[in-house]
Every structure is written in structure tokens, then in C-alpha cells.
Amino acid sequence: MDAANTVIGRASALLRALAQHEPQGLSTTTAATVVALARPTVHRLLTALQAEGLSDRDRGTGQWHLGPEAYLLGQAASSRHDETEAARPVVRRLARETGESAFFSALRGEETVCLIREDGDFPIRSHVLHEGIRFPLGVASAGMALLAFLDNRSRSLYLDRVDLSAAYGDHYGPASLRRQVAETRRRGFSVNPGLIVEGSWGLGAAVFDGSDTPVGR
């Protein structure tokens, strides 16, 4: 990987980390831990992003946030990539009819990103997912539903090289992931039996585009 790609990759990882931790923001030290980079490197990158308006630092708390330019870029990209307009009425109907929290997550690279959360009227609500949170493919009901219905080659390549057990526990080791994928494909939808937060179960079904590629859940 050349130097330019290395810098772009690191900057992109930082922007995704900031997005996942809004609105509370991240300190420089925490950001360095999240993206597994040295603190001085992270500080230099965040400062450079701030000069371009892509990051912003709260003068009172010292926490880093996404900057105003990130918002403008997102607005410009929404005409092509916003899936929420079509998904939101369905998510609202699910929340209304079940009384439970309902979500829509999109596939982005090898992660799922929660784009919509709608709460039903049941008094106990799930706090596992919120808008902007990311999980690796295979984690939570959304990640499992999307992983299970990727094309065979993409799914096999991912499963051959990923071990998520260090971050998410033994249920997300290679052998367990393969078992869950097989069960999800057999069933047609995923079930998360409280593996992320004890007692918080989730169901997930993949949403496909016109070429039968899973794009969301």
C-alpha cells in the first residue's frame, strides 16, 4: 500500500470513528485506541482534517467531532446514496404494529451501519442500536442477515479470514459464525439471542436490490 492510500485509509477510519461516537465525541487518546494508531499520529490527522472542515474540536471539552464539511458532503451524496426515504415508512410500520424498536441498517464495506431507529410503544426499549452505530458483518441480527445472503464467494472469503471472538466473544469465532450463517440461510432470517446485550434479542431480514444483492436489513 502506498503512502497516499495509507493516509487516506487512516483518515477514513478516524472519520468513521467520529461518526460512530456522535454526539458525545472522542478525545484524542480514545480516538487513537479506537483506530489502533499512535496518539501523535491521530492528533496530526485530526488537526489536518479540522483544517479542511471535516473534523471539529470542542474548545470546552477537547472532544473531537465531525466537522461542518462532513455534513455538506453528506448532503451532496444523499441524492445518490440515501436509502432512508424508502425504508423509513416500513420501519415505522414495524415499530407501530409490533410495539418494539425497529431498525434499518445498510451494508457499507464489511460493516453494517444503523441508519434508522423507530421505537414502538412497548415500555422496555432496546438500546443496542442507534443511528450511526457500526458493527462488523456477522455481528448482531443485521450483520448476520446480510452476511448470510452475500454471494457464496464473498461470504466464503470473509469467513475464511475473520475471527471476531476477541472483540465480541466466543459466539463470533469462525466455527460459530459458520454455524449461525448456515442456520440463518436455512431459516431465511437471523436471530440474535441476546449476544450483544444480555436479554436484548433481535430479528433481522436482508433487503435486496434489483440484482439480488443484499444492501440492507
Q: What is the mean pLDDT of residues 104-121?
A: 91
What is the model's pLDDT at position 96? 94
| Cis amide prior to 23 (ω within 30 degrees) | yes
* pLDDT tens figures, 54-97: 999 999 999 999 999 999 999 998 888 888 888 999 999 999 99
d(CA 112, CA 216): 8
Question: Is the pLDDT assigned to residue 128 strictly greater than 80?
Answer: no
Q: Is residue 164 very low, low, confident or very high in pLDDT (cuts 50, 70, 90)?
A: very high
Nearest to 136 by CA among 102, 103, 159: 159
Q: Is residue 127 very low, low, confident or very high in pLDDT (cuts 50, 70, 90)?
A: low
Chain centroid to CA 133: 5
What is the model's pLDDT at position 42? 97
What is the model's pLDDT at position 195? 86
Q: Is residue 199 very low, low, confident or very high in pLDDT (cuts 50, 70, 90)?
A: confident
User: N- to C-terminal Cα distance for the chain?
Assistant: 33
DSSP string, 136-148: ETTSHHHHHHHHH
Are 191 and 217 spatial neighbours (Cβ–Cβ below 8 Å)?
A: no
d(CA 105, CA 129): 9
Nearest to 134 by CA among 114, 109, 163, 117: 114
Are 25 and 19 spatial neighbours (Cβ–Cβ below 8 Å)?
A: no
d(CA 161, CA 136): 13
The pTM of this model reads 0.73
Q: Is residue 3 very low, low, confident or very high in pLDDT (cuts 50, 70, 90)?
A: low
Question: Is the pLDDT assigned to residue 148 strictly greater than 60?
Answer: yes
- Looking at domain 3-73, its CATH architecture is Orthogonal Bundle (1.10)
Chain centroid to CA 195: 16
- Among 1.10.357.10, 3.30.429.10, 3.30.450.40, 3.40.50.300, name the CATH number for the domain at 82-216: 3.30.450.40
d(CA 18, CA 62): 13
d(CA 191, CA 55): 37
Q: Grid cell 487513537 — which residue?
A: 32
Segments making up each domain of the chain, as ranges: 3-73, 82-216
Q: Is residue 124 very low, low, confident or very high in pLDDT (cuts 50, 70, 90)?
A: low
Question: Is the pLDDT assigned to residue 101 strictly greater than 60?
Answer: yes
User: Percent of the chain having pLDDT more than 70?
Assistant: 94
* pLDDT tens figures, 7-46: 999 999 999 999 989 889 999 999 999 999 999 999 999 9
d(CA 49, CA 29): 17
Are 206 and 214 spatial neighbours (Cβ–Cβ below 8 Å)?
A: yes
